[in-house]
Amino acid sequence: ETGVTQSPTHLIKTRGQQVTLRCSSQSGHNTVSWYQQALGQGPQFIFQYYREEENGRGNFPPRFSGLQFPNYSSELNVNALELDDSALYLCAITLKDRFPYGYTFGSGTRLTVV
């Protein structure tokens, strides 16, 4: 049990639609990051939030956006879905007062765009 919960576990959307993925943790965390993992590839960094503000972003277009809430939950929003957005989306947190910064991942949301 990682203590990081993602929902939903699976999702099917149509091209052009919008989707919201959610992440929450059982305990306080410093940062929350989102990653996209295509089949057979390593995870790719989308962005990171710290104290409810984005403080780092990978090579993803603005239609990928996020939010971090005071209650240790976070959202990833993707607008105008494309077929290539089909992937496993992972949320990762760093736990409070734990140095080095071990990143704890959730089990992910499998998004399929048709």
Binding site for another protein (CB under 8 A): 2, 4, 6, 31, 33, 35, 40-45, 47-48, 50, 54-58, 88, 90, 92, 94, 100-108, 110
Comparison of 16 and 46: residue with beta carbon closer to another protein: 46
Q: Which two tokens stand for residue 50?
A: 């710290």
CB 4 to another protein: min, Å: 8
Please compute, for residue 48, the number of CA atoms within 13 A of its CA located in the half-sphere on the CB side: 13
Say how far apart CA 38 and CA 33 lie, in whole Å: 17
Backbone φ and ψ of 4, nearest 5° = -115, 120
CB 81 to another protein: min, Å: 21
Comparison of 49 and 113: residue with beta carbon closer to another protein: 49
Say how far apart CA 13 and CA 68 lie, in whole Å: 23
Comparison of 54 and 82: residue with beta carbon closer to another protein: 54
Using CB atoms within 10 A of its CB, is residue 27 exposed (0-12), middle (13-18) or buried (19+)?
exposed
CB 41 to another protein: min, Å: 6
Comparison of 79 and 107: residue with beta carbon closer to another protein: 107
